[in-house]
Structure 1
Amino acid sequence: MIFVASGRGQVAVPPVINIDKITHFAVFGLLGTLIARTQRPGRWWVGILLASLYGLVDEWRQSFTPGRSVEVADWVADTLGALTAVLIYTHWKRYRLLLEKNLWRSRPAPVAKS
C-alpha cells in the first residue's frame, strides 16, 4: 500500500492541515508494529529501524516521481509513528493482547457417527 501510494503523482487527501504527516505517522506506526510482531522477544527495535529505513528510502524514491517532493518532515513522521506504535505494542500488554486476539473462533472437530 505504501509503495503504490508513494509512486503516484498525486494522492487524494482531505483539506486538513498536516493530514499528510498524520497519515505518515499512522501508516508507519502500523508497519513498525507488524515488523516488530515478527521478531523474537527483545528485538522489537527492528520494527522501528526497518520502518524508519523504509520511510527514508520511500522519500528518496519519491524524488523520481513527477508531482511528488521529498520532505524530511515526512520521514520524521514515519520514524516517530513507528517508534510510538512499537513502544505501545511492546509495553502495553492489553493493547498487545487486543492486536493478537483471534477474531475467528475455531470450530470443534466434527464427531464421527458410528
Structure 2
Amino acid sequence: MPSPPEMIQEVLSWDKAQHALAYAVFTLLGGWALTPVFGAPRAWRLAFALAIGYGLVIEVLQGLGGRRSPQLADGAADIIGAAVVYLIWFVVARLRQKGSCP
C-alpha cells in the first residue's frame, strides 16, 4: 500500500473485477458444498446470501477499522459476482427440469 494511500476511483477497474471473481468463486464453492446438506435450491440461495452478507460485512468493518475505507463499488462488484453464478445455476436448473439441458 502506498504511503499515503492512493484511492482507485475507477468503477470498472481491475480491483472490481477481482472482487466479482472472488465472490463468484465463493458462491460457486458454497453452492457445491452446501448442496448435499440442504438440497440444491436451498443450498444455492444460502450460498448467494452468505456471499453477499460476507461482502457487505467486510465493507462495513473496513469503514470502522480506520486503516481502510469502504467502497460502495466493491460491495456492488461482490454482489454482481455472486449473482452471476447464482443466475447461471438457476437457469441450468430450470433447463434440467424441462429436459432441455443434460
Q: Normalised by the size of structure 1, how large is the TM-score?
A: 0.60
Q: Give runs of ≥4 in structure 1 deviating > 4 Å.
A: none
For residues 50-103 of structure 1, what are the alpha-carbon distances to aligned partners after superposition, in whole Å with 9 as ceiling and x for unaligned? 10000001111212151x21011111110110010222244348xxxxxxxxxx
The aligned runs of 1:51-90 (5 Å cut-off) are 51-63=51-63, 64-66=65-67, 68-90=68-90
* Aligned position for 2:30: 35
Amino acid at match of 2:31: A
SS in 2 for 1:69: coil
Unaligned runs of 5+ in 2: 3-7, 94-102
Identity of aligned residues (%): 30
SS in 1 for 2:40: coil
**Preserved contact between residue 31 and residue 40 of structure 2 (Cα < 8 Å):** no
SS in 2 for 1:70: coil
The Cα RMSD (Å) is 2.4
Q: Which has the higher helix share?
A: 2
Output the CA distance in 1 between the equivalents of 2:66 and 2:49.
25
Q: Normalised by the size of structure 2, how large is the TM-score?
A: 0.66
Q: Which of residues 15, 21, 29 is equivalent to 1:20? A: 15
Q: Between Structure 1 and Structure 2, whose CA radius of gyration is higher?
A: 1
Amino acid at match of 1:19: W
